[in-house]
Structure 1
């Protein structure tokens, strides 16, 4: 899809393979530098957060791209267009609002593709370093129905030996 967007809109392409490999190497090298200072569990937790940030960024960029495609589609579809003047061709030599929306959506698509490649590289690096597949963090099943104040009071009362 990124190649098609780049070709259609005359934009610079995205070398997704290079981005993925560079990100994978970056995360692996970072883990190697930290290896002496962190135990296995701390390394896994640190990388979990780092990879989560890359995945979250790629997800956000993909969502933004999807929104911009919808805007471009709406602007391009004359029946759905709320700007009736957009039904007419723009001034010669200037892009219409619909053309600008399509161009912007294409640019956002290429950015989303680059961030997807970066996230993919980070996920592969996590598996290489930690030895297991990356999964999104899920909190442990602590009892969230009890308030912090109530839990603190229970702990304080337990200190009295009762």
Structure 2
């Protein structure tokens, strides 16, 4: 399970701006209620396996902290359309910390599709994706990221 430090994107411990820039725009829907989000608070880093982890802090919205996250299995994963879940695009999830207190609730992907533009070795990723989550405590989400673009790496 993720911990709260995962939400602290955009700055490192020394409060120095990071090299990652980008934008993620989308809609989060549950129980027929939709919440639009747009963020420039992005993180991109390398994972031990050689892949690339990306997360976006999609804001507080008065209901707690929220993030969308995914991991490319390879930094140079080819551009294309991938079904979700996938061995190529892993750990696709939506997570939230209700009221900014207590445990983080993580909603992993149940099904969806991911369209990726990867200009490796240039540090540039873009695309869009949409997924349904597995329910947690009888609540599931539809996450639609209409577009994302990320440049650089932390």
**Greater helix share, 1 or 2?**
1
Q: Same fold (TM over 0.5)?
A: no
Q: When the two structures are superposed, what TM-score results if normalisation uses the length of structure 2?
A: 0.24
Q: When the two structures are superposed, what TM-score results if normalisation uses the length of structure 1?
A: 0.23
Which has more radius of gyration?
Answer: 1
Higher RCO, 1 vs 2 (CA within 8 Å, ≥6 residues apart) = 1
